[in-house]
Amino acid sequence: MSDPATSDPLADLPLDQLVGCHECDLLMHKPVLKHNEKAQCPRCGYELYAHRHNVVERSMALVLAALLLYVPANFLPIMQLHLLGQTSDDTVWSGVLGLYGSGMREIAAVVFLCSMAIPLLKLLCQLVVLLSIRLDVGRSYGLLLYRIYHHMRDWGMLEVYFMGVLVAIVKLVDLAELSLGLGLVCFVSLLLVQVWLEVVMSPHQIWVALSGENLHAGD
């Protein structure tokens, strides 16, 4: 009876030629991709990785755009409320201060971390990682920061905060005169840019570039 380990055609392949599916754990030979191609798991159809063109340059442009949108998205008025002759401008930052001033300090800390601090740290980590690849310096620090970025991905909850803003708008529209501010446009733009960045910034190509196997990840 033959040994199952020796009968497996993948057993003798080096690890850098293998890839495992994150969804169904299928181990398979890593396919070689051309520009704008993507590899999918033959068992469950999950996208394993993609090879996108100019991934570093495109990701850098999106990161810089997101950083430019960050300040107006958080400090410009999201909405303006007119009630009983009084007008108040509501921003993300004023929401944090309002929660803190109302005695809900734990909730204020969570809102600050998930809607302001962690999204900014994620963008800064992505910027440094892309610069380390682009300038070919400090790749070991880039690897560390990219690992940190992946640990923080689930804690940046701009979309949850945005849903909260929409719920507040729906509830307040019948109670007071409400006008939307430029901050909401910037906030939605920031959210869309970050979603686009997640799509463009191919993790497989970034890991390969940081490991030094391919200095031109976007080629």
- Contacts of residue 150, defined as CB under 8 A and 6 or more positions apart, other chains included, come to 203
Residue 128 · residue 141 · CB < 8 Å: yes
Q: State pLDDT tens for residues 70-97.
A: 999 999 888 777 666 666 777 888 888 8
Dist. CA 86–CA 11, nearest whole Å: 72
Amino acid at 20: G
Question: Quick one: pLDDT at residue 2?
Answer: 46
Question: Quick one: pLDDT at residue 24?
Answer: 83
* pLDDT by 10-residue block (mean), the chain, 219 residues: 53 65 73 69 72 84 95 87 69 84 87 88 94 88 90 74 68 67 88 89 83 52
Question: Quick one: pLDDT at residue 215?
Answer: 42
The residue extents of the domains of the chain are 4-51, 55-210
Question: Quick one: pLDDT at residue 193?
Answer: 93
